[in-house]
Structure 1
């Protein structure tokens, strides 16, 4: 079966970066055919550990990387968001994280927030095959011209 390339974002809070990097290393071959994006520091660490992966680096999360990902979601340019979060640490950019969670939900983007959910995503037959996400009707929320 030919793998249908997905657009995948890799993000991790400071306390979960090592866990995400380890997860990526274990799943490096499965991630190889996909288009990968990562926020700044996380992406640099992954690239050092897994140099065979081509990763487009965005800005660091607090410096705008989260907003870059949010724009990709809103524009339909992201299929999967793997965001290993640290639920025990309050962060100054928590509102950005909440916005990513909200946008992922709104646009029905696959969202994994820890290793277990990421394992389920990558082991799904949909990960390699074609998957057409459904889009909820948001026309009632779209602002109409005055």
Structure 2
């Protein structure tokens, strides 16, 4: 059981949600791997003059996904790619029946199901409330390059 002395909470703040701002981010991927979207998300938040609220990111695809992960050590992304490949291998001997677009088609769908298609990031005082070592990533699960679309939507108050 956790001691109440080890838990603290700041005073609640409130803002009336007066705005909904949306934008479509188009990303050309080089193929399988992680693409850092953090700076694009931060630019959007600044552009819409966000103060406090929430940023939602939603990818409009079933073979690519979004995640928040460590941004300090690149080997984390390498290991995550390895783990996803172990969960859903791309090889033809894996027994997948759906292979309309090739042997990496069904594994890409499984990897998307495991990692997700949307993220919710709080915005506090005009900044993404990410932790020190966190970044927002698009994960391309297909071998070939693809054009991916991510909807950015801020809901909250403006400056």
- Give the TM-score of the pair, scaled to structure 1: 0.24
Query: Whose helix proportion is higher, 1 or 2?
Result: 1
Query: Whose strand proportion is higher, 1 or 2?
Result: 2
- Give the TM-score of the pair, scaled to structure 2: 0.22
Bigger radius of gyration: 2
